[in-house]
Structure 1
Amino acid sequence: MARAHFKLKPNTAGIDYLLHPQILGTVEESVRADQIIPVVVLSEEEISAGPEKLWDTLHYLVDNDDVCTDEFTGIIVVRPSPTSASAPDEPLKIIVDPASDRSASVYHLSPGPNLLRQGEEAQLPSGPYFLSGRNLHQAWRLYPDDLDAFTFGLLPDDPYSPKSFQAVALQSWDGLARSIPVPSRLYHKPDSDRPLAGARVSVKDIFDIQGVKTTLSSRAWAELYPAATTNAPYLKRLLDQGAIIVGKTKTTQFATGAEWVDFQAPVNPRGDRYQYPSGSSTGAAASLAGYPWLDHSIGGDSAGSVRGPATYHGLHALRPTFGSASLDGIKIMSPRYDTVGIFGRSLNEIAFIVENSLDVTQDEDKTLPRKLILPADFFPLTDTEHQRLFDQFVGILETYIGVERVTVNLTQIWEENPPVHPHGAGQSLHEFMKKAPTLSLCYDYYHVSEQFRCGYREEFGREPFVEASPRHWWNVGANVTKHEYDMYVRQIGMFKAWFDTTVMRTDRGHLQDGIMFLPNGIAGPKYRDAIPEAPSASEGIDPQLLSPLLATPHLVVCFAQVPYESRVSGSTEYRPICAGIMSARGSDLALLRLVHEALEMAGWRADIDSGRYTYPLGNNSRNVDDGLDDKANQAETFIEVHIDSMAHGHQLPVDEL
């Protein structure tokens, strides 16, 4: 693709645009070579339907697209049918709105092949375009990245069959932010072969994208490695199904950094906009939480890199079943722990991506869980209001399924039913798993980054700059021997087998054997200007490590928001509240559908907003306007009281598990 693009100045309707360099066709009318003109392409059938229907069509294009505006409707370019002859020499003036006496000039696209596609799909979709001279180009809107969520935007070489990309580094009109290009939604229509057609997706800057660099938020990494020559297979799968990858989002440095030295941290759009953005899929979360024009966001998760940002940005998120997506072409921390991760403003959006991009069970398994498990090792939460809201969330699952929660104590179960292997004999669960999770992860992390460190020293004769946090974890991993690592891997395997046989089956691909609730996030404010804490290793099993150890899906559900008095804005702001649920390997879709149906039955709003508030503010215990009438609100109050009364589940003896 020619490394050239254009920015319209002055802009149209106060909006910045970019012209895709691919020429789609040529008009027969004379146009000055230096002119850039917004136009609408319509079919011969649409143009000949009469003024009233034509006006309805133009209204539809403007009302159903964020790229097309009224300014595009001043010139209509007629898309010829395959049997069309040449157009008239002079454009025809037609009245498109008798009430306002507005008119549009009609230009004609030259007959012949206009796209490198065959059959019916070769016809240009009706919608907004630009003429550059007589040449027709797609119109891409430039959105300002005022949250600093993106490393850069992306423009495909061929918008109809993208394989290679170029980075877009244009500044916004005011010069304060980079711009992210998006095509008209009218260009793409989903079908059975391309279900993701037109879906706008941001991806974390750890995925290789052909034609552009992967940075890992490290200047040293970007300095050492050239642009990628292939697309990561997971992204190729998205592209093949029609997804529009609009840009690469920022990650913490090497996925563990906290200092943001080489790149500035994204802005968390929730509340006062000065809340902690978490990591490492920071930009992926910020982009979806802040920009309504974005549909989906893809990150990566090792030990909470998607689930953590979801809780701080007020999003639903899924760490899917381990191995359900290829890790090739992704800069990972560990081949044992890493997965892709999916953010969504609705559970249905996540399910849609899962269905079309992951290798998980696709059947319509309607089996309900027989157990709702609450591990006492992680509860109660330290904040009583957070715990109360968490209990309400568990309660709607109890009501929907018709099963009360059971509280279990993993430590106690281990003591009463330890693994039969002699290596675990006489050790508590904490002692047995004290080092294995963290040190095995750090060992992998150190060794997957070894080629970078050696390559940089060899190429530049000096050490690369690395932030304190990744440097700390690399040092931890460097001190783990191969013998110790192999021992930790065996211990994790023993724990996994023990969990499956004594706590909850996780190997059957359905929900029948139960789901487990896990805490996610904090209830109070945490500000972005706080000095980063020194990195320290967690010991044993924590809620974020359980799913990676067991290779199971872990779903984060955002369901409430709580007030706090911001020291930044001086106003009452609201923080999102989330809960986690873990289920059996391969049951990702069944879990998503279960939670969606439970929320729907309870009348809880589950489609998240972008911007300051996670949900519209409401007068209920969750501070969410569920869109219910007064009678329904009274019913919800009854349900909440009922749920509170059920909040103290009974603890089952081990033999009932």
Structure 2
Amino acid sequence: MAAIDALVAFVLTYLVRFACAAFSSAGSTVILNNIYYYIPPDVITTLPMTKGLSAALTSGGFIPLTATSTSVPGFGVSDLSALVSNFSTIDDVFQNGFLEALYVQYTGPEALQPDQICSPYLNNSNMVIMSSHTQKFTIPPGPYFVTPSGAVHQAYRLYSDFEGAFSETVISNPEGVFSVLSAGIVGQSLAVAVPSRLYFTKTAEKPLAGVRLGVKDIYDIAGLRTSNGNRAWYWFYPPANATATPVQHLIDAGAVVVGKMITSQFANGETATADWVDYHEPFNPRGDGYQDTSSSSSGPGAGEGAYPWLDITLGSDTGGSIRGPSQVQGLFGNRPSHGLVPLTHVMPLAPELDTSGFLTRDPVLWTEAAKALYKENITISSSYPSKILTFGFPTSADSVADGLILDFLANLTDFLHANVTSFNFTTAWAADKPSAPPINALLNITYPLLIAKEQIQLVRDPFYADYAAAHDGRRPFIDPAPLIRWSFGDNSSETIEDAVANKTEFMSWFNTTVLVPDAETCSSSLLLYVGSDAETVYRNVYRSAPSVPYGFSSGRVSVFSEAPDFVVPIGQAPYNSTITQHVEYLPVTIDFMAAKGCDGMLFSLIEDLLKAGLVQVSQTGMSSVNGGEILLKKR
């Protein structure tokens, strides 16, 4: 008897625990006409039911629905045809499958009966018509899913991250709280959920309304974990309780964060395949599909180059981390003037050098996003310098890439009515500062010293201490590249103050001698250098161990001077791929520099170059110029 009583007590305890178990919906995944959709659990409104709708929904589940509005009675077949054409043109979430039910919201001045709102043909068709003349306009036009009780849910289309650009894909609820997307699709990649573009209307307060944004995974987003490219970091620390300032600026402007994107470890430079250990480098969509994506904003570069449904990505640039991926994927990208936006809740590499900027295909969106990100710290201006300095430009068209570069320079010179001067940093520095060390000697270890010693103090040492305290003195795994750099910092007798002094000496000279502020054109000159010339960097090559990033080069000028540096794609050039055994094409880009603080002038100039046809919107796919399916995908 005692045994039976014990068994009963156990069962009752189990039932009580079971009854109290937490249970909530994480949303649903459905397939409509062979396209995957995610239906979030949040109900945005409840519609008044009609007999027709109730009958259609008796089988349970969801029914696709299209919402629209009209201020004119008699919404008819021609109106529906125009709606479908318009929605299909501007929105990739909408499709004809959502016409199974139609909700027409009447917004006209006089009260009408439901049968007056739509034409008799629509009212008598098999399509379920829902219309309202007494209710306030409750939902934006677009595709939805509705339940038998009339509960309306938004529709998110699911795309495959087949290039491996995302570290985690996300969704936010109506209150703006982020969580990891609980949806998948057939295939070997993460699913990315994007909302209908029809839900959003751009305003002065929300200039980025509906813009789909990918964020490099060194930026905290409240409710989500941050990896910084390190598996141990991701799992060791809890989800962030605050959102990084740059990301929050963009969210406030209406941008929709769809995911966090792959970064090389702790934003250090890594090359596929050898250096990437904790996470795999994303795939560069251009050419044969097996070129390096550059780093550290590898995910933002790969995603923006591959996915037409992704509008813009947020990266960071300390020593070239936005510019490198932009160059090799043929994207517009900017390292801004240093200090334009606070980097609160962003993992540091070296605060004296760290910046936040974009990778994008469209210069117009680029400018709008920059105004939202940098706010009052940029001023758009449209008076341009008439002097161009070139650094490291070809002198003859010995290759297709060289020919493109020289042709572009000639066209730019005509456009600006400018004169061009070849500039040499070594000789200019020696002429102006004969008693100083040669420029290459002065700045040889400045960059590696700053990124190593600063990151050791701000990131590595606290991480090591926290991890050891929780794991009996153990250390977490670190990729080879950051280890090499940190070791250099540990063993160098030079100090952060020494590096800052050298940087400051160069910056003072550059900003008063080379790119000088100008009252009329903001910058006395433009400085141009070659960003990429279709050079191959295959990811299936065995490489030597990573090394300390010594030296001074064209890409370090903006790093040390704090001046803006913008990547501009100008075309593509052929190469013979060892992968495909076929002629393929890779991007050719030029970097534009101007005086510190002249970011707004560069944004305006590049938009004007777009209007004049000197540059083009970059395309997604294997070619940044012509688009085309990425080779691994079925045509």
TM-score computed with the length of structure 2 as normaliser: 0.86
1:80: how far off?
6.8
What's 1:77 paired with?
103
Q: Are residue 165 (structure 1) and residue 178 (structure 2) matched?
A: yes
How far apart, CA to CA, are the structure 2 residues paired with 1:167 and 1:506? 46
Amino acid at match of 2:238: P
Which range moves more in the overlay, 554-563 or 385-394? 385-394
Q: Secondary structure at the match of 1:458?
A: helix
Please say if residues 218 and 254 of structure 1, whose CA atoms lie closer than 8 Å, have aligned partners that are also in contact.
yes
SS across alignment from 1:398:
helix
How do residues 6-405 of structure 1 correspond to structure 2 at under 5 angstroms? Answer: 6-9=27-30, 11-29=31-49, 30=54, 31-32=57-58, 34-43=60-69, 45=71, 48-79=74-105, 95-96=121-122, 103-107=126-130, 123-134=138-149, 135-158=151-174, 162=176, 164-172=177-185, 174-256=186-268, 257-258=270-271, 259-359=275-375, 362-375=378-391, 384-405=399-420
| Distance in 2, Cα, partners of 1:28 & 1:500 | 66
What does 1:414-563 correspond to in 2, within 5 Å?
Answer: 414-418=429-433, 425-449=435-459, 450-461=461-472, 462-481=474-493, 484-505=495-516, 510-563=521-574
Q: Secondary structure at the match of 1:591?
A: helix
- Amino acid across the alignment from 1:65: D
Distance 1:604-1:366 versus aligned 2 partners, 3 A rule: closer
**Bigger mean CA offset, 251-260 vs 322-331:** 251-260
1:539 to partner: Cα distance: 3.4
Q: Is the 8 A contact 1:290 1:611 kept in 2?
A: yes
- Please name the residue that 2:25 is paired with: 4
Structure 2: distance between partners of 1:252 and 1:436: 21
Q: Deviations over 1:488-514 (max 9, x none)?
A: 211211111122233232597954411
Q: 2:430 aligned with 1:409, yes or no?
A: no
What does the per-residue CA deviation read over 1:584-620, in whole Å, with 9 as the maximum and x for residues that have no partner?
122112112223434543x4341111001111299xx
| Correspondence 1:593 to 2:604 | yes
Q: CA deviation at 1:274?
A: 1.1
Amino acid at match of 1:106: I
Instruction: Write the letter of the residue equivalent to 2:538.
Output: Y
Residue matched to 2:590: 579
Seen in structure 2, the aligned counterparts of structure 1 residues 54 and 228 have a Cα distance that, compared at 3 Å, is same
CA separation of 1:111 and 1:15: change in aligned 2, threshold 3 A: farther
Tell me which amino acid in the other structure corresponds to 2:35. I
CA deviations over 1:247-284 (Å, ceiling 9, x no partner): 11111121124422222221111111111111111110
The sequence identity of aligned pairs, in percent, is 28
Shift of 1:573: 0.8
Letter aligned with residue 129 of structure 1: Y
The alpha carbon displacement at 1:79 in A equals 4.1
Q: Which position in structure 1 is the counterpart of 2:16?
A: none
1:506-560: per-residue Cα shift (whole Å, max 9, x none)? 5979544111112213433221112244222343321121101111110111111
User: How far apart are the structure 2 equivalents of 1:82 and 1:217?
Assistant: 54
Structure 1 residue 47: Cα displacement = 7.4
| DSSP 3-state at the match of 2:127 | strand
Equivalents in 2 of 1:38, 1:215: separation in Å? 37
Q: CA deviation at 1:32?
A: 4.4
Instruction: Output the CA distance in 1 between the equivalents of 2:520 and 2:557.
Output: 17
Query: What amino acid is aligned across from residue 405 of structure 1 in structure 2?
Result: V
- Deviation of 1:436 (Å): 2.0
Distance 1:185 1:202 in 2: 16
2:86 and 2:627 map into 1 onto residues whose CA distance is 31
SS in structure 1 opposite 2:529? Answer: strand
Residue type matched to 1:124 in 2?
I
1:353 CA displacement: 1.1
Asked if 2 retains the 8 angstrom alpha-carbon contact of 1:25 and 1:109, the reply is no
User: What is the letter of the counterpart of residue 458 of structure 1?
Assistant: A
Contact 1:54 1:96 in 2 (8 A): no
Q: Go from structure 1 to structure 2 and tell me whether the alpha carbon gap of 1:426 and 1:271 turns closer, same or farther (over 3 Å shift).
A: closer
CA contact (8 A) 1:232 1:328 kept: yes
Quick check: 2:246–2:373 contact (8 Å CA) kept in 1?
yes
Alpha carbons of 1:546 and 1:66: their partners in 2 closer, same or farther (altered >3 Å)? same
AA matched with 1:57: L
Moved more, 314-323 or 259-268: 259-268
Tell me the SS of whatever aligns to 1:245: strand
- Give the secondary-structure state (helix, strand or coil) at the position aligned to 1:607: coil
Letter in 1 for 2:585: Y
Corresponding letter in the other structure for 1:167: V
Task: Choose 234-243 or 513-522, whichever is displaced more.
Answer: 513-522
Amino acid of the structure 2 residue aligned with 1:402: H
Q: Rate the CA distance shift 1:568–1:505 in 2: closer, same or farther, 3 A.
A: same
Unaligned runs of 5+ in 2: 1-21, 629-635
Shift of residue 245, structure 1, vs aligned partner: 0.9
Query: Counterparts of 2:398 and 2:517 in 1: how far apart (Å)?
Result: 30
Equivalent-residue separation in structure 2 for 1:45 and 1:550 (angstroms): 57
Shift of the 4–322 alpha-carbon distance from structure 1 to 2, 3 Å rule, reads farther
Unaligned runs of 5+ in 1: 113-119, 420-424, 619-657
Q: CA deviation at 1:137?
A: 0.5
For the residues of structure 2 that align with 1:281 and 1:380, how far apart are their CA atoms? Answer: 32
How far apart are residue 186 of structure 1 and its match? 0.5
Q: 1:111 to 1:528 in 2, by over 3 A?
A: farther
In 1, are the aligned partners of 2:328 and 2:532 still within 8 Å (CA)? Answer: yes
* Contact 2:574–2:584 (Cα < 8 Å) also in 1: yes
Cα contact 1:316–1:344 (8 A) shared by 2: yes
Change (3 A) 1:617 1:83: closer
The answer on whether the counterparts of 1:200 and 1:245 sit within 8 Å (CA) in structure 2 is yes
Map of 2:578 onto structure 1: 567
How far apart are residue 185 of structure 1 and its match? 0.5
Q: Which digits, 9 at most, give the CA deviation of each residue in 1:74-107, with x for residues without a partner? A: 2113447699999989x9996449xxx9641123
Per-residue CA deviation, residues 295-326 of structure 1 (Å, 9 max, x unaligned), is: 11111111000100111111111111111112
Shift of 1:230: 1.4
Tell me, what secondary structure is at the counterpart of 1:358?
A: helix
**Structure 2: distance between partners of 1:304 and 1:477:** 20
Report the residue type matching 1:192 in the other structure: A
> Which range is displaced more, 243-252 or 362-371?
362-371
Please give the secondary structure, in 1, of the residue aligned with 2:528. strand
| Partner Cα separation in structure 2 for residue 616 and residue 549 of structure 1 | 36
